Amino acid sequence: MNYPVWDLAFGAGLLMALVAGLHVFVSHFAVGGGLFLVLTEMKARRNRDAELLGWLKSHTRFFVLLTVVFGAISGVGIWFTIGLISPTATSNLIHIFVWGWAIEWVFFFLEITAALLYLYGWDKLEAKLHEWYGWVYFIAAFASLVVINGIITFMLTPGHWIENHEFWTGFFNPTYLPSLLFRFCISLALAGIYALITASVQKDAALKARIVRWGALWTVPSLLLLPVFARWYIRKIPADLWASARGAMPTGTHFALLACILLGVTLLLTLLALIKPGRLHLAFSLLVAVVAFGALDSFEFVRESVRKPYVIVNYLYANSLYSASIPGDGGYTVDKIGDAGVLKSAKWVGNRELTSGNQVAAGREIFRVECESCHTENGYRGLRHYIVLRQWDLDKIRAMLGSLYLMHNGAMPPFAGADAERDALAAYLATLQSGIAAAPGPADGRTVFEHDCVMCHQVRPDDHLFTNLPRDQQTAIDALKDLPGMFPVMPDLKLSEGERRALVQWINTQRPAQEAGAPAKGGN
């Protein structure tokens, strides 16, 4: 709200995922592939393998055209895109790490120059000198990973930087080292996988087989090492963050599972390629690449979803509000906006005052400045879909907005603003479900649970709902009448008598008998 919000109908998050997803698949190759080039060249020269050298020359062209053009520009593309979608986070990251970015640029410059000279030098330079360019390239490329890794991991685990604001504390943060090794492993695996692609179009079967075996030697051990570093990585992520990616908001867990499966499939496919390496088909090599792409992107999704609701953990929320008051926050914290009002605090809203006539229009603007960094109306994470699915009317939406920060294991920041502004946002969101009929009368308990409870509660014996709800049916039905009375942060949902009865009956069928009377613990 300090910056204007780009009204991107299909979803800012989707655009970011697209640009970043494509970039990482090439940029990791740019690191591991550099080592692959120079070591393969040395191996080919040592074995006097002219065919392998000939292939490597064409592979270099493929490598340079992919990394120097697409890899480099899509990297700038990420920068463009985050500036458009998260200008506050970008501005912070720029200012915190100016010299980190500047150092990254030095390595980038060397990397590009060395890559081009290595490519152009194939027919012009003597072997040792040519390999020297290969080494310069690889070292510069690896160094650029060393730098950017500090900034990426900072966002997830800023560690003690939050207290001391020191460059090196933020840079060498808790996940720095495991992430660096993890990403380097990925880059080595990708070097082998990309080699399969250019190998597959070779006519000489014996040469093809040599390359496939050599490539697998890069891919297989790296993939086997990955889980080790992944485990270390996860252990360095604060437990509450990691836990938040499980359970009620399982995006992180889903993608983690997907990453593991796709990683396994990549390994399997690489091993399959070894059965008849001389007959590797282009389609097969592309399949390996696509599966590996899926695995890598799934990992990046895990990283992003674990980080929610923050863009910089314990510092800045995804919607560009600071999570705590700090000098120079400009008033953009949840508390300060709660006091001052979002329409007064935000620079980029037209409706400065709420009147009887502008509630929906102002609500639309509040949606834009507070929600649209992650949500859309109808596109990616579209709210119409959620609201229609759960049949929420105006009252429920209003009640739910008060407990945003509890939803989905705390994946969302709290609503920031005055009560009347929350009502305005609810009024706008209620217009999204205008098409649906009024909620039908007494539903079955499971439906009530899925419409009204599932954002915060899970069907687990240790969930508060199951441990704390009185066992006696009528007492429970009465207790549900006043949810905030049960637990102050609960939304005041005003469930009907029929809904409450159905819900209680269903809950009683779900909880094991031995849990009765167990003390409340765990869950949400």
Find the binding residues for another protein in span 438-497 (CB under 8 A): none
- Cite the DSSP H helix spans in 121-200: 127-156, 161-164, 167-171, 176-200
Min separation Cβ 466 and another protein, Å: 43
Q: Does the footprint of another protein cover residue 56 (CB under 8 A)?
A: no
Min separation Cβ 213 and another protein, Å: 30
Q: How far is CA 262 from the centre of its chain?
A: 17
Among 54, 87, 247, 264, binds another protein (CB under 8 A): 87
Min separation Cβ 9 and another protein, Å: 8
Q: How many CB atoms lie within 10 A of CB 365?
A: 25
CB 384 within 8 A of CB 378: yes
Q: Which of 2, 17, 30 is nearest to 381 (CA)?
A: 17
Min separation Cβ 349 and another protein, Å: 9
Among 21, 51, 57, 91, binds another protein (CB under 8 A): 91
Nearer to another protein, 61 or 494 (CB): 61
CA distance 170 to 99: 13
Using the contact rule CB under 8 A, the part of the chain among 113-121, 219-227, 375-383, 485-493 near another protein is 113-121
Nearer to another protein, 305 or 351 (CB): 351
Nearer to another protein, 333 or 359 (CB): 333
Min separation Cβ 98 and another protein, Å: 5
Among 98, 127, 268, 518, binds another protein (CB under 8 A): 98
CB 458 within 8 A of CB 247: yes
Residues 364-383 within binding reach of another protein (CB under 8 A): 368
| Residue type present at position 269 | L
Min separation Cβ 315 and another protein, Å: 10
CB 104 within 8 A of CB 140: no
Nearer to another protein, 17 or 110 (CB): 110
Cα distances (Å, whole numbers) of residue 259 to 47, 226, 484:
38, 11, 40
Among 54, 83, 221, 264, binds another protein (CB under 8 A): 83
CB 263 within 8 A of CB 295: yes
Q: Does the footprint of another protein cover residue 67 (CB under 8 A)?
A: no
Q: Does the footprint of another protein cover residue 4 (CB under 8 A)?
A: yes
Q: Which of 48, 314, 54, 283 is nearest to 174 (CA)?
A: 314
Nearer to another protein, 111 or 452 (CB): 111
Helix, coil or strand: residue 235 = helix
Residues 11-40 within binding reach of another protein (CB under 8 A): 15, 19
CA distance 305 to 314: 15
Q: Does the footprint of another protein cover residue 430 (CB under 8 A)?
A: no
Residues 301-360 within binding reach of another protein (CB under 8 A): 322, 326-332, 347-348, 350
Give CA angle at 288 (287, 289), nearest 5°: 90
Among 76, 286, 324, 520, binds another protein (CB under 8 A): 76
Q: Does the footprint of another protein cover residue 95 (CB under 8 A)?
A: yes
Residues 394-413 within binding reach of another protein (CB under 8 A): none
Residues 123-182 within binding reach of another protein (CB under 8 A): 124-125, 129, 132-133, 136, 165, 167-168
CA distance 183 to 176: 11
Q: Which residue has the tokens 């690889």?
A: 138
CA distance 356 to 384: 24
Size of the site for another protein (CB under 8 A): 72
Residues with Cβ within 8 Å of residue 251, at least 6 apart in sequence: 245, 301, 305, 411
Among 88, 187, 202, 219, binds another protein (CB under 8 A): 88
Min separation Cβ 7 and another protein, Å: 4
